[in-house]
Amino acid sequence: MTFPISRHSKASYVLIITLLPLFSEPISSLSLQPLAKNPSNFDPQIGLFGDAIFINSDSTRSVRLTRPAPSSSGLLLHGKPFRFLKPTSFSTDFTFSISPQTRVGLALIIARSDFPSKFSSKTETPFGLYGENRFFEIEFDKLVNGNVGVGVSGLKSASVSNASLANVGVKLQSWVDYDASSKRIEVRLGGFGSARPYNPLLAYPIDLAGMWEGEEVVVGLSSFSGHSVQSSSVYSWSFRVRSVPKSMHSQPIDPQGYTNEFVEEQEKVQKKSGCALGILSGLFFATGCGVLAAVVLLFLWAMFVDRNVIIPAEGSVHPVDFSYEKINVIVEKSLEDVKGKL
């Protein structure tokens, strides 16, 4: 059974289809307030929540996350949500300072995409995480001894004992890297303008893809003043997501199948190596046989062919005829000559 559709109904239907994507946008995208003038030291797709405000002065451009008042909290949000679907890694670096009046500091937070709609600057929950039961954070705090502490969701922590970094209130720079292939997150910390440290201050194994299971998440920097008049500031922030194709990763499902495949591959390599060695050995054998045959032929040639050859002498001798004649010499002297001498 079919029902006729009037032109008015068609127009309403088209209007609903047109407006539906607007109402289906997440709350975080609709409430996002971009920074004014898009300063170069921040990514363009970021916004402010709570007590966070942008400060544009002659000396610096920064985001102050909290007011100098108790129970103040603010959020600097990267406005582009993403998912850990493929082997997705990320890298971020930011420059910040923690006021020395309190131990509560600043945190890098990864939460569900509806987290900004729940964020409130009036809550007593640190970093505005009230009602959020699933999140990941890296927290930078001031410790009792004056050092800077770094913690991962309350599971693992480390402290900076370097005197140049332990002076809370100065600008610090942090590098956070997550590698999806090794399921490992690394945190580095250094002074403002310093080179990126080679060794991480803190490394922690965690599977963020398994934690979120393809759910859309957002990342932000948050601060909470607690019962003091702390004022935390962020001077620069950059966030990058890297998705590596699965074809570039080796992820065998069946270890036994992987072992068999490896053995077959090794057998193929051994067969190829055996063929190459056989060909090379054959070439050497043929060359040796050829040399031996040449030596035997030269020896036989010397024995049977060259033995009847007469080597001529250096000087040639020609036969000549020899004859002699007998010559008789008769001397006759006169008697008168003899007598005269006497």
Here the tokens at position 216 are 């859309």
The pLDDT confidence band at residue 261, using thresholds 50, 70 and 90, is low
Q: Are 87 and 157 in contact (CB under 8 A)?
A: no
Q: Determine the pLDDT at residue 289.
A: 85
Q: Determine the pLDDT at residue 268.
A: 63
SS3 content of the chain, % helix, strand, coil (to 5): 30, 30, 40
Residue 58: phi and psi, rounded to 5, are -70, -30
DSSP 131-173: T--SEEEEEEEE-TTSPEEEEETTTEEEEE--HHHHSBTB-EE
- Supply the Cα-derived Rg of the chain in whole angstroms: 50
| pLDDT at residue 317 tops 90 | no
Which one-letter amino acid corresponds to residue 325? E
SS3 label, residue 220: strand
- Higher pLDDT: 18 or 169? It is 169
Q: Are 105 and 218 in contact (CB under 8 A)?
A: no
Closest CA to 76 of 99, 53, 105, 101: 53
Alpha-carbon distance 242 to 51, whole Å? 31
Phi-psi region of 102 (alpha: psi -120 to 50; beta: other; left: phi over 0): beta
Domains, the chain, ordered by start: 16-248 (2.60.120.200)
Q: Determine the pLDDT at residue 89.
A: 93
| pLDDT at residue 49 tops 60 | yes
* pTM of the full structure: 0.58
Q: Determine the pLDDT at residue 16.
A: 35
- Would you give the distance in Å from CA 50 to the centre of its chain? 37
2: exposed, middle or buried (Cβ count in 10 Å: 0-12, 13-18, 19+):
exposed
Which residues make Cβ contacts (< 8 Å) with residue 54, sequence separation at least 6?
35, 36, 39, 48, 61, 62, 63
CB atoms near residue 231 (< 10 Å):
21
Question: Which of 19-23, 86-90, 329-333 is the least confident region?
Answer: 19-23
Question: Which of 6-15, 165-174, 222-231 is the least confident region?
Answer: 6-15
- Higher pLDDT: 42 or 341? It is 42
Alpha-carbon distance 51 to 62, whole Å? 14
DSSP 263-277: HHHHHHHHHHHHHHH
Q: Are 47 and 239 in contact (CB under 8 A)?
A: no
Could you report the per-residue pLDDT of 106-117, keeping only the tens digit for each?
Answer: 888 888 887 777
Highest mean pLDDT (candidates 94-108, 282-296, 322-336): 282-296
Could you report the per-residue pLDDT of 189-210, keeping only the tens digit for each?
Answer: 888 888 999 998 888 888 888 8
| pLDDT at residue 177 tops 90 | yes
Length of the chain: 342
240: exposed, middle or buried (Cβ count in 10 Å: 0-12, 13-18, 19+):
exposed
DSSP 63-129: EE-S-SSTT-EEEEEEEEEE---SSEEEEEEEEEE--TT-S--EEEEEEETTHHHH--TT-SSGGG-
Q: Are 129 and 135 in contact (CB under 8 A)?
A: yes
